[in-house]
Structure 1
Amino acid sequence: MDTGTEPMGTGGHHESGDPVGPALLWLWDTVTMVTLQARQRVLQGALLLCALGLLLWTAIFLYGSFYYSYMPLATYSTPVHYYYRTDCDSSASLLCSFPTANVSLLRNGKNQVMTYGQPYRISLELEMPESPANQELGMFMVKMFCYSRQGQTVTSSARSTMLRYRSGLLQTLGTLFLIPFFLSGTADQKQLVEVELFSEYREDSYAPSIGAIIEIQSQRVQIYSANLYIHAHFTGIRYFLYNFPTLSAVMGVASNLSFLSVLLLFSYLRLIWGRFINPQKVRDRIHLHQRLAGMDESEDTELLQDNQDDTTGIENSSSDALLEAHQITATHLNQKEESILKAGGGGMDIRHGRFQSEIDEEEIIAEEEVENMVMSVDPELEGSSETAKQPDSIPSTLTGTSTCVIS
């Protein structure tokens, strides 16, 4: 009894432990698959982020290059340093010559400041003290000459200007109100006088300006400093790029990014399709179809030639049969005529009628035989039955001949 119970206990233990192994294997396979999928997803995400970063950087670089090459310099300023002669005998309030300055219109001595075809506004800003000499000066002229590399004068302009008028009371009140600033040195009794020399200056592409000479046509003028300003008047796309830089940058980068994404997508699809579609196999199939089409055309041509040969042979055989039938009919009629001529004599009129009826019957029989022969040769040549009716002329001729002979 004990030995009988042990195997049962052992068997029950194995039955209860069997499901553990497959469950662990299934769990291990599931964990491994999930891990592999997670690694694959992480790798794909990293590659996607790298591709997007590269595309974004390329789009920004393209927009920056376009902006730098397309947009000219918006504002350019340079100090103007005047010089004048001092080798003359004059009073302290007069200069020996007009103050003159030579200004370069090149950046770093190499690049042009102004772009061809772009309109510019050129103005001169003078910092002048509110001295009695300047107040008594009144109006004075400012003249500007632009010259090229060959030293030729490209264009010139002359404008008049003066200090703004301020009454004595207004000057006294302003001095009293601003006296702390004047005493501390943070403010000065001066005016900024702006002179517009060119409202819409356009650079000549054949003779670009490399410098300008600015002259103040007064020997009593007093100035602290002077600056030359060049402002560009933008229109169209340049106006949008300059006045809305953030919006234009976002739109430009987005358009470049979309274009590069579409280009990359087409390249990827072409690569994927190239794996499934072998160009060599496609070429082989095209050549095979061309060969089959050429063979079909040659077979059709051969069959057409065979049909034409068969038709020609059938027509020749039918014409031969017709000629043979005509010859048999003519021979038979000649034999009849000879037998009648040999018989001669008195029953000529009676025999003539019988002979005529026999000839008509034989003509009908000959025509039927010829039509049957033609129809039996080729059913498709039904039009040749009209040709088979030509023996009508031959028996009629023979009949007329026989009649003449009998008569």
Structure 2
Amino acid sequence: MGAVASPVFHWVQDVAAVTLHKARRTLFQAAILFCVLVLLLWVSIFLYGSFYYSYMPTVSFSTPVHFYYTADCDSSESALCSFPTANISFMKNDRDQMMVNGQPYRISVDLEMPESPVNEHLGMFMIKMTCYTKGGKIVSSVGRSTMLHYRSSLLKIMSTLLFSPLLLSGMAEQKQLIEVELVSDYKTNSYEPIVGAVIEIQSRRVQIYSSQLRIHAYFTGIRYVLYNFPLTSAVIGVATNFAFLSVIVLFSYLQFIWGGIWPPEQVRVRVMMGDNSRMQQRKQEVKKRMERESSMKELNSPKVVGPIDGMINKNITYRKKG
């Protein structure tokens, strides 16, 4: 029994060892494949993120507008000495341009104004914006008019009574937020990009709590899809990058392991066969040309027949006899 069981036991050991070796090898290959796929996925995400960050401009930009005016005139007058003016920079970190060339933008100014008697009697007034380049050259200028929204005396009384608790506690104020659209479709010129703008309120009696300049980009084409469908765009972009990188890795693997789809030996053999066939073809053409030339020479050479042949034969016979 022991002699019979020994070969079976060794066979089982060999089968187990081979199976374990195959399992380890398969597990190792699966681990390598998983690591490669994870690496490709991260690289695909990084490439899409880099493309999105470099291609998509800033969607919106908002900055406070601080107006300044001169105060060296007669202080007895209630009006200001000059128009309120503010200088706004369109540069990020004082280096990069905030507005992308060729991209349409909507530029507006928000004015927070109190419902004071001065503003109510002020009526309409102008807001002017002048854009300039890095060298100080004015490239565009636009002006818009605005005023406080009208509210009747009865409406004022009713709103005051209704919101009196909030007004007394300071949680609400009697003010209006006026939005003035300066430009609806502004595009910067790549040859003369703007770096800032001067905003001027052409009224010396206007009263303002605060002001904000808002710039919003309107996207079209690919930017519209990337902005309005970010998740779908990200999935498609990452999947495209992943497929492209996978194809590159697959061809690199085939080139490294199997010598590629067309190994160098096969290519060399094909080239040599092609060269040999061309050489043989040239040899055959040269041979045919030589045969043709020889045949032409034979046709053109003179032939001697008749009496001359008889005389030659007689001379030969005479020489033999002698």
Q: TM-score, normalised by structure 2?
A: 0.86
Residues 272-281 or 53-62, more deviating: 272-281
- The 3 A distance-change label for structure 1 pair 324 and 46 is farther
TM alignment of 1:200-279, pairs within 5 A: 200-274=185-259, 279=264
Counterpart in the other structure of 2:33: 48
- The 3 A distance-change label for structure 1 pair 186 and 51 is same
Counterpart in the other structure of 1:323: 306
* AA aligned opposite 1:235: T
* AA aligned opposite 1:151: G
For the residues of structure 2 that align with 1:210 and 1:137, how far apart are their CA atoms? 33
TM alignment of 1:80-99, pairs within 5 A: 80-91=65-76, 93-99=78-84
**How many correspondences in the alignment?**
312
For the residues of structure 1 that align with 2:288 and 2:122, how far apart are their CA atoms? 115
Deviation string 1:318-371 (CA, Å, 9 cap, x unpaired) is x55x4359859xx9xxxxxxxxxxxxxxxxxxxxxxxxxxxxxxxxxxxxxxxx
Counterpart in the other structure of 2:166: 181
Match of 1:172 among 152, 157, 162: 157
Offset, 1:280 = 5.4
Offset, 1:183 = 2.2
Match of 1:34 among 9, 15, 19: 19
Counterpart in the other structure of 1:19: 4
**Relative contact order (alpha carbons < 8 A, sep ≥ 6): 1 or 2 greater?**
2
Offset, 1:166 = 1.1
Deviation string 1:54-90 (CA, Å, 9 cap, x unpaired) is 1111111111111111111110111100111112224
Offset, 1:316 = 7.9
- In 1, are the aligned partners of 2:166 and 2:172 still within 8 Å (CA)? yes
For the residues of structure 2 that align with 1:25 and 1:46, how far apart are their CA atoms? 31
Provide the aligned C-alpha RMSD in A.
3.0
Q: Which has more radius of gyration?
A: 1
- The 3 A distance-change label for structure 1 pair 84 and 313 is closer
Match of 2:135 among 123, 134, 150: 150
Q: Secondary structure at the match of 1:18?
A: helix
For the residues of structure 2 that align with 1:303 and 1:105, how far apart are their CA atoms? 82
Deviation string 1:120-149 (CA, Å, 9 cap, x unpaired) is 111000001111111111111111111112
Give 1 or 2: higher helix fraction.
1
For the residues of structure 2 that align with 1:174 and 1:52, how far apart are their CA atoms? 65
* AA aligned opposite 2:122: L
Q: Matched residues, percent identical?
A: 52
Structure 1 unmatched runs, 5+:
1-15, 332-407
Report whether the alignment pairs 1:59 with 2:38.
no
- In 1, are the aligned partners of 2:107 and 2:213 still within 8 Å (CA)? yes
Q: Secondary structure at the match of 2:211?
A: strand
- The 3 A distance-change label for structure 1 pair 18 and 300 is farther
Q: Secondary structure at the match of 1:163?
A: coil
- The 3 A distance-change label for structure 1 pair 67 and 181 is same
Counterpart in the other structure of 1:108: 93
Give 1 or 2: higher strand fraction.
2
- The 3 A distance-change label for structure 1 pair 239 and 308 is closer
Q: Secondary structure at the match of 1:210?
A: strand
Offset, 1:238 = 0.8
* AA aligned opposite 2:156: Q
* AA aligned opposite 2:118: A
* AA aligned opposite 2:306: L
